[in-house]
Amino acid sequence: MLPPSTLDAARDLLAALEARGLTLATAESCTGGLIAAALTAIPGSSAVVMCGWVSYSNEAKRAMLGVPPAVLEEAGAVSEACARAMAEGALARAGVDLALSCTGIAGPGGATPGKPVGLVFIGAARRGGETQVLRRVFPGDRAAVRAATVAEALALAAGLLAPR
């Protein structure tokens, strides 16, 4: 369950995208579709949200989003390079204006040396712009890490739309 503040952020992002005539897709791993769920919980979201992928396995990341095998072999699925490739793959495959991605370790298991539970990479690719990737280590249990990832992804997207 996502907090009301996250749904408010989703509503605001959708309004900003719709006002600009922009569309969005998601490519999610550790959140299992929660970013798309937050966005599509808002009535009228179909004007902006075109599609979303849940690419939990490495094979799904390769097949569905075009993440290069070398990225997964060298940097791993939980990496800046993977989040970048996921966002860029979603952008290209969906033909949208903005794509959000996330990959991480929500826990309670899965940590490896240098990659603790709570480590998440969140990507945002915008047509005609540079892809941005955030690295975060969120505290808390699995639900808290996933909820924080959704909130941060929505904030990243909103930041890309802010006037400069």
Q: How far apart are CA 28 and CA 53, in angstroms?
A: 6
Per-domain boundaries in the chain: 4-161
pLDDT, block means (10 residues), the chain with 164 residues: 91 98 98 98 98 98 98 98 98 98 97 96 96 98 98 97 76
Please give the pLDDT value at position 164.
63
Please give the pLDDT value at position 13.
98
- Answering whether pTM is above 0.75, one says yes
Report residue 53: phi and psi, to 5°: -120, 140
Two tokens at 16?
């900003």
Report residue 114: phi and psi, to 5°: 85, -10
Question: What does the chain come to in residues?
Answer: 164
Domain 4-161 has CATH 3.40.50.1100: no
Give the angle subtended at the CA of 27 by the CAs of 86 and 83, to the nearest 5°: 35
